[in-house]
Structure 1
């Protein structure tokens, strides 16, 4: 079962423009809030890279339909306005949960397919595995510092007691 697109993808230049605009918006937003490049900015810039990787992987005919379902779920999490940390409410910091979900999906893909296949779709500045390692090492500390995380933590603790 292959996925067919109803409409062709935009030309590569338009895709690249969107990608660059998203990276620029994230950087500009963080710079305007902090007055300098924030500590989280390099991690937030993984969002467009991971989104691009997921979309390109979804269109790769070497990837089976079961894996494409997982990839589609990761893409859906990116584009759904309602998630744990909504971008509409907290700006680009809301991409942190999207990055974590995408990293989870990419790890599944790396366990199922050759690293070379997945890396073909990676456009990030760093090597894919190095970027994933960085995300994994810092995701707990980043989530622990977010207000939504402490609210979720309180809810979970109360739920466990009940």
Structure 2
């Protein structure tokens, strides 16, 4: 195994396995979630249009509403255990908190990048204990959820920097 193969293997060891996409079942959001989802998505789309955010970054920011609603639904699902609900709760609170590593109040929609990354790390941790089908049932995004998780994890350092990614990982994966 050459040096390049070792680097690739090390990089992939923390990524979830990606399986072929399956047909996703459309999920209707309950009315309160739909209103929040629509407001957040409209706010993000407006920011992207006004600031001319590049398409790649915009696609990551636009994951925020789908991830937020997914985490909120997991908190309410009786099939999800207490520790997974706690992790989802931390991620939801991080979305809502006015102060985080990249505050939206200071940088606008770009401040959602750290929220998206934390949400993905939380989901990666949740998928250890919760059946994948339960999590997928609550996913309303357009892309396959596991592909989204993999893509965000691979791009996290480039999006927000290694120091912030390390702190976000510590929030989700700290020892008990």
Partner Cα distance (1:55, 1:30) in 2: 25
TM-score for both structures, normalised by structure 2: 0.72
Q: Which runs of 5+ in 1 are unaligned?
A: 1-10, 153-162
2:55 aligned counterpart, secondary structure: coil
1:81 aligned counterpart, secondary structure: coil
Partner Cα distance (2:75, 2:104) in 1: 24
**Aligned with residue 120 of structure 1, among 137, 140, 154:** 137
Would you identify which runs of 4 or more consecutive aligned residues in structure 1 move more than 6 Å? none
**Aligned with residue 91 of structure 2, among 74, 77, 84:** 74
Task: Please say if residues 31 and 38 of structure 1, whose CA atoms lie closer than 8 Å, have aligned partners that are also in contact.
Answer: no
Partner Cα distance (1:13, 1:53) in 2: 14
Task: Please say if residues 33 and 69 of structure 2, whose CA atoms lie closer than 8 Å, have aligned partners that are also in contact.
Answer: no
C-alpha offsets along residues 4-23 of structure 1, whole Å, 9 cap, x if unaligned?
xxxxxxx9234213212211
**Aligned with residue 43 of structure 2, among 6, 11, 25:** 25
1:123 aligned counterpart, secondary structure: coil
2:95 aligned counterpart, secondary structure: helix
Structure 1 residue 110 corresponds to structure 2 residue 127:
yes
Q: How many pairs were matched up?
A: 137
**Aligned with residue 90 of structure 1, among 87, 107, 112:** 107
Task: Please say if residues 87 and 126 of structure 2, whose CA atoms lie closer than 8 Å, have aligned partners that are also in contact.
Answer: no
TM-score for both structures, normalised by structure 1: 0.77
* Cα deviation, residue 88, structure 1: 0.9
